[in-house]
Structure 1
Amino acid sequence: MTPSTPATIDLLRLPTADPGDLTPARALAAAGRTLDDVLAVVGKTEGNGCVNDFSRTLAATRWESLVPDETVTVFSGGTEGVLSPHVNLLVADPGPHPGHDRGLVAAAGRTRDLQPAEVGRGSQLSAVRETVDALVKQLGLTPDEVDMVLVKCPLLTSDRIAACRATGVEPVTEDTYESMARSRAAAALGIALALGECTEDAAFEALEAKGAAGVWSSRASASAGAELTDCHILVLGTSGAASSPLRALHGVMRDAIDLESLQQLFAQVAAEGGTVVQVFAKAEADPSGTVRGERHTMLTDSDLNSTRHARAAVGGLLSALAGTTAVYVSGGAEHQGPPGGGSVTVVYRMPVA
């Protein structure tokens, strides 16, 4: 049933000393909250962000032992360049908050467990779409009021590929690293479909054709990991039916050096009198092999995966604008913003009117 007044939230951004560090949980008491109030734990860990990034697994395991079963955890590995390891705790904050005519609301949920044969395929796309649909309705939002859909989805390990083939079905790919991209793509297209950013035919056609560059979501942020077999999903939106000092707005970077688009988002926050709390962004190496006509080497570097280069580049740009290195930048932006760019969501706090 759709609530008449969606539950508002607060966002606490806290540094971590290592992937297993739980000291940020102590900040909840200082903020007048408990672990039972935690809707989602969203963090950056200092692993390689690839298939064997066990920093994500450690962080997820540690936090999931503390928070309620319905709380989702989303850990993105890779803090290359100036990016700092940290967690974002999204906690229920019902107020009251007089003087605010709208506010940030959130809902979290999970898809069913996905079989290895479903990863990166239409069944994953559909599962994400269905869950996003349900969460948006739960919040009483229209698709246009959604500012971000954050997803952590599974990937294929060697064991999962073997299990898939044991059933007589070929996996979407036998390359475990590529499976991350295929899984992110399926999740992003499910989000785009749920938010009305593309048609059903376009979403499924894009899933099968790598060249479907024109089909993407401006509000999808998907990352993949071996630490789960379902998709953890968080929906954020700014609701006119809520009252809270927190709000959000979204946009896209057209490429990895798109300073102008970022400045426009930050200028909008400043024009409203707000203060930036956190920035969530996707980044990828431009698949064309160039950035504004100049050749880049991110896709041909045999020492570092391209996602690591992209996080470092965009992380530096965003950190300079935000005035903090504890920003959330996730690599691999398949169908999450235009090719070579990525989706961006800015969460900000308003003073009392």
Structure 2
Amino acid sequence: MPENFRVILQNRPGVQGEPKETNFHHEVCPFPNSPEPGQVLVKTLYLSVDPALRCRMNESTGVEYMGPWALGEMILGLGGVGEVYQSNHEGYTPGDLVQGAFSWPWTNYFIWEKTSGMDLDKVDRSLVGDRPSLILSVLGLTGLTSLLGIREKGQLTPGANETVVISGAAGACGSLAGQIAKLEGAGKVIGICGSDEKCDYLTGDLVFDSAINYKTQNVAEKLKTTCPDGIQVYFDNVGGDISETVISQMTPNSRVILCGQISVYNNDVPYPPPISASLEAIIAERKISRDRFLVLNYAAKFKSGLEQLITWLADGKIKVRETVAEGLEKAGSAFVSMMKGGNIGKQIVHVADPTKNTQ
């Protein structure tokens, strides 16, 4: 019988504190019993690590769709990919590749059943080849967030030569959103990120026209140079001073896609966080749209959105990069690193390789 481990929340960082590796604890736990009728024993292959999990480290998340993690209890993440290890369910066979969102446990092996609060969907292996982790990025909620954010809130007009600026541009959503904006007809795409390596990735490997390192360059001046006619769409992943700088250079009737605000996730403020009175005045005067974007509100468009993403990926029109932490024991440190910008593309944890076991 294989060993089983889990990751629990050992202590909280405090609503104003930065997450630390010591907030997490990796410990041995019992291997699940054989599945009863209607149950499946799942082996975790990959875990998704997401900034939105930060609010679950507090006693109150401040949002209605996610509850806080309990101290001493196993962490439930926003997504995972696994393999059916044993099955006592007519819909699943050992070896099936499966994925789930919102309640995937940070453990090597677990029992799933319909009442567990998470849908367990089978994955077509032909779509992912030897990269099942793609389900956690371009072919999952990350990809849908990027696509539907650009389409539903960005509302780009092909041929209009509109300029799109993306903050957190080398992250999971940002790197996809920039490529999708080009595919949707943007005239120019500018990325803002935190290192020269990330800037080189955006303009060298991807289709970004320019990239700004906010740690070493003057963002306001660089935007004036690269966007002389102003900015029409802003995909906002970070909030804070960077977003105020970008929005101040947006044109009348432009659109902000409010995707994330990672710069303030360690602060005790409501979401979306308040903005300055001067920025509120600019938004009102120029009739800039800026309201919360939550991909779950567009569930009716998930199927068609995934079909589009699958086509683009198969045609080589979208590139996907991952930052991979090896081993379940690295899940906590991967989360801490990601919150500090240590990732390029999607941050994931590789827990195990596939096996083809029989009951």
Structure exhibiting the larger radius of gyration computed from Cα positions: 2
TM-score, normalisation: structure 1: 0.27
TM-score, normalisation: structure 2: 0.26
Select the structure with the greater relative contact order (CA < 8 A; seq sep ≥ 6): 1
